[in-house]
A and B are shown apart, each in its own frame.
Chain A
Amino acid sequence: AQSVTQLGSHVSVSEGALVLLRCNYSSSVPPYLFWYVQYPNQGLQLLLKYTSAATLVKGINGFEAEFKKSETSFHLTKPSAHMSDAAEYFCAVTSSGGYNKLIFGAGTRLAVHP
């Protein structure tokens, strides 16, 4: 079975500081990995995805994530936080090949303060 663990349910950073949101996954088969962002009272929006191509994946809004198989991690980073980055972020995993369940982590709420 696949699973996702997001370390830290709440993360707070200053505007302009580095953003690091942690995600570790468990999968017995090669995974596809995703990061989603959810703004208040909205649905989820895809930030970026890893599908077995380049291990460093660039997404929208300046975010990127690196797939590290040895650490079973897919941490999300952004060099400089902006107030508009305040939202909830979800990491998700599925299996490559065909249609498979997309399993989500519990989410990390990012607060950005001046």
Chain B
Amino acid sequence: NAGVTQTPKFQVLKTGQSMTLQCAQDMNHEYMSWYRQDPGMGLRLIHYSVGAGITDQGEVPNGYNVSRSTTEDFPLRLLSAAPSQTSVYFCASRGQGVGAFFGQGTRLTVV
């Protein structure tokens, strides 16, 4: 049982480059979300999805896109990376009434 799998674990981008952070879960959870973690700010919600084909914005959505074509996958896209997007990114999934299960994180540096 893999839980939530994120790839890659580390990534360095140049300003203006694009990339996709992958997230997959095998628990058949409807709810998935992306957070970024910055020192002293906890985890801030970027985007979330309550099921395939349904996504919505969180607290800090600017500069990020998401889609949810299947229950299992919830990729996060950075269209034009900026240094302010240097952060650790976590994907999470959960079912109703339970706590979220987190991936191991992606450490992204934008230079």
Residues of A within 8 A of B (CB): 6, 9, 32, 34, 36, 41-46, 49, 51, 90, 96, 98-99, 101-107
Q: Is the CB of B99 within 8 A of A9?
A: no
Q: Is the CB of A102 within 8 A of B92?
A: yes
Q: Can you name 12 extra interface pairs (CB under 8 A) apart from A103-B45, A104-B35? A: A32-B97, A34-B100, A42-B104, A42-B105, A44-B92, A99-B96, A101-B45, A102-B92, A102-B94, A104-B42, A105-B42, A106-B40
Decide: A49 near B42, CB < 8 A? Known: A42-B104, A43-B105, A99-B50.
Answer: no
How many whole Å from B4's CB to the nearest CB in chain A? 8
Q: Is the CB of A102 within 8 A of B45?
A: yes
**Which residues of the other chain, A, contact B103 by a CB distance below 8 angstroms?**
43
**Which residues of the other chain, B, contact A107 by a CB distance below 8 angstroms?**
40, 42
**Which residues of the other chain, B, contact A98 by a CB distance below 8 angstroms?**
96
Tell me if A's interface is mostly helix, strand, loop or mixed. Answer: loop
Q: Is the CB of A46 within 8 A of B99?
A: yes
Interface size, B (range): 20 to 34
Q: What mask results when residues 50 to 89 of chain B are scored 1 for a CB within 8 Å of chain A, else 0?
A: 1000000010000000000000000000000000000000
A102 to B94, CA, bound (A): 10
**Which residues of the other chain, A, contact B41 by a CB distance below 8 angstroms?**
106
**Which residues of the other chain, A, contact B35 by a CB distance below 8 angstroms?**
104
**Which residues of the other chain, B, contact A106 by a CB distance below 8 angstroms?**
40-42
A46 to B31, CA, bound (A): 16
Q: Is the CB of A43 within 8 A of B33?
A: no
**Which residues of the other chain, A, contact B100 by a CB distance below 8 angstroms?**
34, 44, 46, 102
Q: Is the CB of A51 within 8 A of B97?
A: yes
A31 to B90, CA, bound (A): 23
How many whole Å from A49's CB to the nearest CB in chain B? 5
Q: Which single residue of chain A is at the shortest CB-CB distance from B90? A: A43
**Which residue of A9, A41, A43 is within 8 Å of B40 (Cβ)?**
A9
